[in-house]
Chains A and B, each alone.
Chain A
Amino acid sequence: MAPPIPPPPAISLHDAVALSGRFPLLAGVDLEVAPGETVLVEGPNGAGKTSLLRVCAGLVGVSAGRVRVLGLDPNRRRTQVRRRVGLLSHASHLYDDLTVRENVRFAVRAAGADPGRIDGACARLGLTGRLLTTSASKLSAGQRRRVALAVLVARWPELWLLDEPHAGLDATARATLDQLIGEASAAGVTVVIASHEADVVGSLATRAVVITGGRVTGERTLGPPVAGRPAAAEPAGPAGDIPLPGPVAHVA
């Protein structure tokens, strides 16, 4: 059953070519992501998954073709797009000399989000107690990932771009991450996940897109996501209260 008026796509790429020096990262990508969708992006190493996410975040400009994120051109309306988009990349963007709490606080305030959500977000990701006052240089890779995730959760933007989010996380953190993605989908957030873990993410996403050689070369629909949600969801603002860690009703 088609929705009465199709909402504008959250992401719209048309024949996008993105360059890094002389090397084409994306060689003509056509992609549309509807708002509220959860999409898995898969492909071999070096295919352009990370570049695709970076283009959507507005970090890399397109030299040919068209890109629209949340209806806006990420190169023209940079600040607006960036405030509404959250990118979880391989790097965690942490300052080594600051503590975890200071890093999260800076990142959240820099993005213009509500600093009151910091405590809840950190607690949700298991960053509590002594960990909060540890200098970022002493963290393991997985812990750094969790800090970056905490920033994302505190900000709760409309569009989440996750680049191999499960990499480096332990079992607890992976479970938390899956819960978070489920909650975000249920709340109407558009989530795009680039991952090699098709089975895990496949249960969270509705669609998988295959990228090879800098182009979209395949697509397949996946089963309905675990957290059932309406077909056309309007993008929601930040979720109300972030639930504290503890048993969460989660359909396995």
Chain B
Amino acid sequence: MWRDTVLVAGKDLRIEARSRVALSQVAPFGVVALVMFAFALGPDRATMAKGAAGLFWVAVLFCTVLAVQRSVSVESVDGARDGLRLSGLDPAGLFLGKAAAVAAQLVVLEVVLGVGVTVLYGARIEAPWLILASCVLGTIGLAATGTLYGALSAGLRVKETLLPFLLLPIAIPVLLAGTRIWQAALAGGVPADGTPWLRLLVVFDAVYLALGVVVYGPIQESA
């Protein structure tokens, strides 16, 4: 299973390195979203600094949808999805590999967005380890659920509109947890204890990773 994971993740990341979609399209979209939020919330920097945590995570969620859609569309050209099935790859490895590739792209996007939030909204980080932990755990959860729902909607013609509608509600706990942890970690934010939220993220990640490993095979076969 792990061999297949590394193989698939390597393939997806190599494709990304060649096509540079995440870097040249999704990241700028994320930054544009941050700018839009700034316009929407008004020029008062204090308001923006207060909302920085939440806005960061909303932007991350949007970028996740795009990254997942890209991950799915890579397989829909030339029957590549059939090719993956025919090769007899372990579905659990396939799931973890694709999720790992999405997670890697998300981490890069989060760095870009984090810089954006610091610069555009004037957020100041006071507890960097909390930021790091929340990003790592949140990314894993988003990548796992995204890959799962991506597989579910893969064969459908309406997948572009259906995927966000299905994925975003499920990702609400990540949004809530990430926002709260970031608020605890940023200066001048609402003081809140981040630890129970970290535990929540761990549970979320564990549940969806386990689900994915078990269920990805049957989903693939029924798509």
A–B contact at 8 Å CB threshold (below): yes
Task: Tell which of B18, B74, B79, B88 touches A79, judged by Cβ atoms closer than 8 Å.
Answer: B88
Total of A-B residue pairs, C-beta within 8 Å: 74
Which residues in chain B, 164-206, are within 8 Å of chain A measured between CB atoms?
A: none
List chain B residues, Cβ under 8 A from A57: 86
Residue A66 at the chain B interface, CB threshold 8 Å: no
Residue B35 at the chain A interface, CB threshold 8 Å: no
Say how far A157's CB is from chain B's closest CB, in angstroms: 10
List chain B residues, Cβ under 8 A from A248: none
Known: A94-B78, A94-B80, A96-B77. A83 touches B88 (CB 8 A): yes
A30 to B82, CA, bound (A): 25
Do the beta carbons of B86 and A82 come within 8 Å of each other?
yes
Say how far A30's CB is from chain B's closest CB, in angstroms: 25
Residue B90 at the chain A interface, CB threshold 8 Å: yes
Task: Tell which of B15, B19, B86 touches A93, judged by Cβ atoms closer than 8 Å.
Answer: B86
Q: How many residues of B contact A (CB 8 A)?
A: 24
A78 to B222, CA, bound (A): 13
Known: A97-B19, A98-B15, A102-B14. A112 touches B80 (CB 8 A): no
Say how far B75's CB is from chain A's closest CB, in angstroms: 9
The interface size bin for chain A is 20 to 34
Say how far B157's CB is from chain A's closest CB, in angstroms: 13
Task: Tell which of A59, A102, A106, A135 touches B86, judged by Cβ atoms closer than 8 Å.
Answer: A59
List chain B residues, Cβ under 8 A from A107: 83, 87
Of the listed stretches A84-92, A116-124, A179-187, A226-234, chain B binds: A84-92
Residue B160 at the chain A interface, CB threshold 8 Å: no
Which residues in chain B, 63-79, are within 8 Å of chain A measured between CB atoms?
A: 74, 77-79
Do the beta carbons of A91 and B11 come within 8 Å of each other?
no
Say how far A27's CB is from chain B's closest CB, in angstroms: 22
Residue of B4, B14, B78, B89 ringed by the most chain A CB atoms within 10 A: B78
Do the beta carbons of A89 and B88 come within 8 Å of each other?
no
- B85: nearest chain-A partner, CB-CB: A59
Known: A95-B11, A98-B11, A107-B83. A82 touches B88 (CB 8 A): yes
List chain B residues, Cβ under 8 A from A81: 88
A78 to B89, CA, bound (A): 10
A83 to B217, CA, bound (A): 16
Residue B84 at the chain A interface, CB threshold 8 Å: yes
Do the beta carbons of B11 and A106 come within 8 Å of each other?
yes
Do the beta carbons of B74 and A95 come within 8 Å of each other?
yes
A2 to B93, CA, bound (A): 46
Residue B7 at the chain A interface, CB threshold 8 Å: yes
A122-166 to B contact mask, C-beta < 8 Å, 1/0: 000000000000010000000010000000000000000000000
Do the beta carbons of A110 and B84 come within 8 Å of each other?
yes
Instruction: Enumerate chain A interface residues (CB-CB to B < 8 A).
Output: 57, 59, 61, 78-83, 85, 87, 89-98, 102, 106-107, 109-112, 135, 144
**What 4 pairs between A and B have smallest CB-CB spacing?**
A93-B83, A91-B79, A82-B88, A110-B87
